[in-house]
């Protein structure tokens, strides 16, 4: 029978005040390989259940002292015994007694006189269900452990990726700085020398060649445009104002924004800010640059407010707020510009908060911790 597969020393506790009447049940259970323990009242049944932790309990209802319903409720209230299945085994066959039994926490209800095959079948079924439940709980625990381990590894990998991204951005910023200086210093000097050479040609040969003057003026205009392009490219790669600190750089950026976008930019800076390291200053500048670029392209704003706050500890916060048309924030629907800002800030252990709604403008806040509190200085 199915019970024969459950002979791994499974224990059944019988709580009944007349166990001698259950001798056939005890005998057949033991013949099927179960270990049987007996208690003759509720208090003894509770004590033995807590002591031996049986796999199943056969519980009479009419017991000296507390009845079987009370015993079952107490078993289910105790964390040590609440998972043990209880089968009521009683002469009370009325429907309301069965309802009481199930309400107390029983899993089944056998009425006396008992039929041995029915007892064996129900015992085997509930032991099998109990074993399946225990296995399921074990697997759930293993899955929870695996999930926690996976989450830990994902967090470690994410932290490593962010650190790598921060190092990459730092390397890119240093390379931009080097290229900007080379363009400004070397190419700018070459173009300046070329302009001087063209001017010298006009002075030396202009009187003897009337048509040369107009041609020289064209070349000088082209040289001036080339010099301006060089300055613009160098400034885009690495604004020279950043060499003087984040406050002069933001002032320069706000001035350029007002000039090109025609939108007023109200800038609020600390009177005596703590100096920021290269990576943090560059990150805040790039966030402001991207935010103002988005305002000029999409916001249709009438005004922008930009505020920088630097605490004595070195923690800092940059807020850019416009009164434009705003947009609906949807998870996963951010553009590359916003994602780039977020990655820059996250790479230094900071946080980027974006609040926007249609007709309500947009507010972007970049918060960076003090160096050594999750931030990465250069």
Using alpha carbons, select from 273, 281, 300, 288 the residue that is nearest to residue 358.
300
pLDDT at 209 over 90: no
**pLDDT over 60 (residue 376):** no
Question: Is 8 a residue whose pLDDT tops 70?
Answer: no
| Per-residue confidence (pLDDT) for residue 5, from 0 to 100 | 40
Give 91 or 20, the one with higher predicted confidence: 91
Cis upstream peptide for 158 (omega within 30°): no
For the chain, list the strands marked E by DSSP: 11-15, 35-39, 56-59, 86-90, 108-111, 265-268, 304-310, 316-322, 351-356, 362-368
Its sign, for the CA torsion 29, 34, 39, 43, is negative
Cβ-proximal residues to 316 (8 Å cutoff; 6+ apart), any chain: 276, 280, 284, 308, 309, 310, 367, 368
pLDDT in tens, 253-290: 999 899 999 999 999 999 887 788 888 888 899 899 99
Where does the pLDDT of residue 67 fall: very low under 50, low under 70, confident under 90, or very high at 90 and above? very high
Predicted local confidence at residue 373, as pLDDT = 62
Residue that wins the pLDDT comparison between 114 and 182 = 114
pLDDT digits (tens, 9 = 90+) for 13-48: 999 988 778 889 999 999 999 999 999 999 999 999
Q: In degrees, to the nearest 5, what angle opens at C-alpha 349 toward C-alphas 343 and 351?
A: 65
Spatial strand order of the sheet with 304-310 comes to 265-268, 304-310, 316-322, 362-368, 351-356
pLDDT at 162 over 80: no
Residue 1 has pLDDT above 50, yes or no: no
Rounded to an integer, what distance in angstroms lies between the CA atom of residue 222 and that of residue 230? 12
pLDDT at residue 9 is higher than 90? no
Q: Tell me the C-alpha distance between 70 and 76, whole Å.
A: 10
- Contact at 8 Å (CB) between 345 and 283? yes
- Looking at residue 4, what is its pLDDT? 40
**What are the C-alpha distances in Å from 50 to residues 57, 74, 78?**
12, 11, 9
Q: Are 220 and 203 in contact (CB under 8 A)?
A: no
Which carries the bigger pLDDT value, residue 199 or residue 141? 141
More confident residue, 127 or 170: 127
pLDDT at 254: 93
> Given pLDDT bands bounded at 50, 70 and 90, which one contains residue 377?
very low
The better pLDDT of the pair 220, 369 is held by: 369
Confidence band, pLDDT 50/70/90 cuts, at residue 155: confident
Per-residue pLDDT, averaged over 132-136, amounts to: 88
Quote the percentage of the chain above a pLDDT of 70.
Answer: 92
More confident residue, 333 or 115: 115
Q: In this predicted model, what pLDDT tens digit does every residue of 301-349 receive, in sequence order?
A: 999 999 999 988 889 999 999 999 988 776 544 566 788 888 888 888 8
């Amino acid at each position: 029978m199915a019970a024969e597969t459950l002979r791994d020393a499974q224990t059944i506790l019988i709580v009944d005040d007349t166990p001698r009447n259950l001798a056939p049940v005890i005998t057949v259970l033991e013949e099927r390989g179960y270990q049987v323990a007996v208690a003759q009242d509720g208090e003894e049944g509770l004590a033995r259940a807590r002591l031996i932790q049986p796999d199943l309990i056969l519980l009479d209802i009419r017991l000296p002292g507390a009845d079987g319903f009370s015993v079952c409720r107490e078993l289910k209230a105790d964390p040590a015994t609440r998972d043990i299945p209880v089968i009521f085994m009683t002469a009370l066959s009325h429907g309301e007694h069965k309802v009481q039994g199930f309400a107390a926490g029983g899993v089944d209800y056998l009425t006396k006189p008992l039929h041995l095959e029915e007892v064996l079948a129900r015992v085997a079924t509930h032991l099998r269900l109990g074993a399946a439940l225990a296995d399921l709980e074990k697997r759930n625990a293993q899955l929870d452990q695996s999930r926690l381990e996976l989450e830990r590894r994902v967090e470690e990998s994410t932290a490593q990726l962010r650190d790598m991204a921060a190092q990459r951005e730092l390397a890119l910023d240093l390379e931009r700085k080097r290229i900007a200086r080379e363009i400004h210093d070397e190419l700018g000097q070459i173009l300046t020398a070329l302009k001087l050479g063209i001017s010298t040609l006009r002075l030396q040969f202009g009187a003897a060649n009337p048509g040369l003057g107009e041609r020289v003026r064209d070349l000088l205009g082209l040289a001036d445009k080339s010099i301006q392009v060089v300055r613009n490219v160098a400034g885009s790669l690495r604004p020279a104002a950043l060499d003087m600190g984040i406050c002069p750089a933001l002032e320069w950026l706000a001035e350029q924004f007002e000039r090109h976008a025609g939108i007023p930019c109200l800038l609020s800076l600390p009177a005596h800010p703590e100096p920021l390291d290269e990576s943090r200053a560059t990150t805040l500048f790039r966030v402001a640059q991207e935010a103002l670029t988005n305002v000029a392209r999409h916001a249709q704003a009438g005004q922008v407010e930009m505020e920088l706050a630097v605490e004595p500890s070195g923690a800092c916060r940059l807020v850019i707020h416009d009164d434009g048309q705003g947009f609906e924030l949807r998870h996963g629907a951010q553009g590359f510009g916003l994602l780039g800002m977020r990655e820059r800030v996250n790479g230094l252990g900071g946080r980027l908060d974006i609040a926007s709604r249609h007709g309500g403008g947009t507010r972007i806040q970049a918060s960076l911790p003090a160096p050594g509190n999750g931030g990465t200085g250069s």
